[in-house]
Amino acid sequence: MENPSVSSAPVLVTGGAGYIGSHTVRQLVERGERVIVLDNLYSGHRWAVPTEATFVEGDMADQTLTARIIREHGVKSVIHFAAHLVVEESALNPGKYYRNNVLGTLNFAEVCHREGVEHFIFSSTCAAYGTPEETPVRETAPTNPVSPYGRSKLTTEHILWELEEAARLGGTQNPMHHVILRYFNVAGARVGGGLGQATAGATQLVKVAAEVAVGKRSAMKIFGTDYPTSDGTCVRDYIHVDDLAHAHIRSLDYLRSGGRSEMINCGYGKGYTVREVIASMKRVSGIDFKVDEAPRRAGDSVAIYADTTKVTELLNFKPRYDDLDLICRTSLDWEKEMLKRSMR
């Protein structure tokens, strides 16, 4: 797949002020793309959007607003991040997740189809698989999400496929094509500093461990120590946020080159236990922070990591930061940077 020239048409990024979105926007800007960020700042931050990007504060579910943005700027490509994503919260408040992640995205995707957007990249999740029967997990594995969050993302995947098929049945010659990226565990912060996970109350393991290491939290918990793994804790596939951002850019290049719609796993194809992640954070920080043990959480699978054949072959994706210590170190550096900012 040849890397096409940067398009003169801008890329619209929803949720571009959030964690993964802001890293992707930064990389798009650095390669010379024109970028429009649409974000309601529910969990994103205005400071995370580079000055080179056009920022619009608003909701992606607002069809009048999104249609105006697409028309006025001649948008042909969209990267869609805007979503609620806390698994535990989704179980307690499923309506919030279906309204935003499903209905909101339906409103947005319908406008994109109607206004002639050609490329749509969707931020999905490995939670669509639920508890997989085999690892590594291939894209052909059965889907059985165990949380409203996972189900909301899987439902949205179906919507994208069905909107494309409806457009084709209706006679559209070039319907909007999409790439669905099913993320595994995203972690770390921008190599070189300046960007990272800044959402209050974040639950990601690496983020929590970094917060404990710098003293933002007094301790952390391991949920379940009796799993059938090498040390009794769950195994997960951790991908550095800069590599994941780059996978979105490779997806954009793929679609601009005429690629058909696809669903693709995004991970490194190997897993680390919870204890291994904590040991890495202790190693890079030099802090032997407190770790408590707690019972298993409902819905946690023993092990899940990606089969990366498709992302490697189809997108020519080559990870640059496949190193657990580097992932932990960048997260730790980011937490230290945030502490300094709070003291100014």
CA atoms within 13 A on the CB side of 13: 32
Token duo for residue 273: 């236990």
- The helix (H) or strand (E) run that includes residue 177 is strand 177-183
What does the longest C-alpha to C-alpha distance in the chain come to?
Answer: 63
Which H or E run includes 275? Answer: helix 274-285
| 97 in active site | no
Nearest Cα neighbor of 103 from 66, 67, 61 is: 61
- The CA distance from 285 to 180, in Å, is 35
Quick one: tokens of 303? 């092990």
**Cβ–Cβ < 8 Å for 264, 179:** yes
User: Both tokens of residue 220?
Assistant: 């952390």
Q: Phi/psi zone of residue 44: left (φ > 0), alpha (ψ -120 to 50 degrees), beta?
A: beta
- DSSP annotation of 264: E
Q: What span, in angstroms and rounded, lies between the C-alpha atoms of 18 and 23?
A: 8
Can you point out the beta strands (E) in 50-153? 54-57, 77-80, 119-125
User: How many CA atoms lie less than 13 Å away from 157 in the CB half-sphere?
Assistant: 24
Question: From the candidates 19, 98, 149, 305, which is the catalytic residue?
Answer: 149
Which residues are known catalytic residues? Answer: 149
